[in-house]
Amino acid sequence: MISLLLLVIGFLIVRTIRVYYFIKQVSKVCDKYDWNFVEDNERYVIDIMKENYYLNCEWSAYNFLFLNGPSPTDLFFSLKPLTIENQYDSISVDKLKKYEII
């Protein structure tokens, strides 16, 4: 019984760590996407300089991946592998592929 409990706790710890690193990876992708987007569309330079720009800017990857994407608990309990292609819809993935981020 104790070994089963240790196994479940170990699984939860490993899954938590994997979700944490996946979220960090998505954050890096978002940052890279936003700056590449601004380089191509210079009129958004002022937007990206604002504090918390991702809350109001629909073009921001932070907006369409973090705010409108799956929550961390959805990621934790998802049975799909933790990859951007598996966790996010095809529209979001296509936006990222446009700037060759993924």
Q: What is the residue-wise DSSP string for 37-54?
A: HHHH-GGGHHHHHSTTGG
**What single-letter amino acid sits at 47?**
D
C-alpha–C-alpha distance, residues 44 and 28, integer Å: 19
Quote the pLDDT of residue 76: 97
**Domain residues of the chain, as ranges?**
2-98
Quote the pLDDT of residue 99: 86
Please, what is the angle between helix 2-40 and helix 90-98, to 10°?
50
Quote the pLDDT of residue 101: 81
pTM for this model (two decimals) = 0.90
Tens digits of pLDDT across the chain (102 residues)? 999 999 999 999 999 999 999 999 999 999 999 999 999 999 999 999 999 999 999 999 999 999 999 999 999 999 999 999 999 999 999 999 998 887
